[in-house]
Amino acid sequence: MKIAGTGKKLPQTTVSNAELAKFLETSDEWITSKTGIHSRTICKSESITDLAEAAARNALENAGLSISEIDMLICATVTGDYLMPSMACCILERFEAAKCPAFDINAACSGFIYAMDIADSFIKAGKAKNILIVCAEMMSRMVDWQDRASCILFGDGAGACVVTEGDLLKYIRVFSDAQIEPLFTKFGGFLQMQGQHVYKFAVKTIETEINLALSALKLTPQDIDFFILHQANARIIEGARSRLKLPAEKFPMNIQKYGNMSAASIPVLLAEMAEEGRIKKGDTIMLLGFGAGMTAGTAVLEW
C-alpha cells in the first residue's frame, strides 16, 4: 500500500505548563526538563468526534478522494465519545450517504501502526482499495488533573491518513508484550501508570525494533530520512537519536506543543510535516509506536 493523503485537527485550547503550575505543585522548568513538553492542546468546546471528522476530511481532501470512494474506515482510539457505537461509525455518520465497513481498534499509543497493518492486509487480500485511517484521542478525559505524574503528559488531538494500493510500504511489524499493570485505565477510573516501567519498555522497544527493521531491509540508520516516533517523552526520543549517532533533524518532534496524544501522535506529526513540506517524495520514513498493553509497532515506507 501507500499513503495517499494525511490530515490533522487539534483543539482550540492550549494549556501551558505555567497554567498547570497554578494548581499543581510543579513548574514549567520541571515539566520541560523531565518531558520536553511546554504545552498541550485540550478539548473544551469540541468533542473528540469533531476532531476526528475534521482530520478525516483534511486527509480525504489531500488524497483527492471523496468519502464515497472509501472502502473501509478504521479508527484507532481509547477515548471515543461512546462505549458503543464505535467512533468509526460516529465519524462516518458525519458524512452523508457514506456506506462502508467501519470499526475501532484499541492498541493505545501503537494504534496507528496497528491500523496500517490491518489496512495493508485488506488491500493485499483485494477486499479494499482505499482505506481511511483516523486516530483520535481525548486523553484529557482519562487523567486525574490533581495527579502531577500523569496529567502533565497528555493532550488531545486527531490525525488521519488515506491509504491505497501501491508498493511504498516496505516493512511493517506489530507485537504485544502482554502486561496490564504498567499502564491502564479501568472503567470509570483515571489513567494509572508506572512511569519507570513504561520508560524502560519504550527505550528497549525502540532500540530492538529499529534494529529489526533495518536488518530486514538491509539498511543503515543513515538510510532513513526521518524516524517518526510516538511522542511520549522528548528524553526517550533524544536517547534513541543519541544512541544511533544521528542528527536531530532526523527525529522530528511536536510533543513540546501538543503533549502525548496516544494513537494520534504519529499521524498528527506526519500530517504536520507533510503540510509544511518537510517530507519530500522519495524520502524513507520509519514510524514507531509503543504503548499500553504493552504494544508496539514499526513501519518503514517510502513517501
Annotated catalytic residues are 109, 230, 260
* Residues 114, 243, 224, 56, CA torsion sign: positive
Degrees (nearest 5) of the Cα angle 164, 169, 170? Answer: 160
Helix axis angle for 111-124 and 265-275, nearest 10°, is: 80
Instruction: Please list, residue by residue across 174-200, b when 16 or more beta carbons sit within 10 angstroms of its beta carbon and e when fewer do.
Output: beeeebeebbebeeeebbbbeeeebbe
Sign of CA dihedral 55, 57, 62, 66: positive
d(CA 100, CA 89): 10
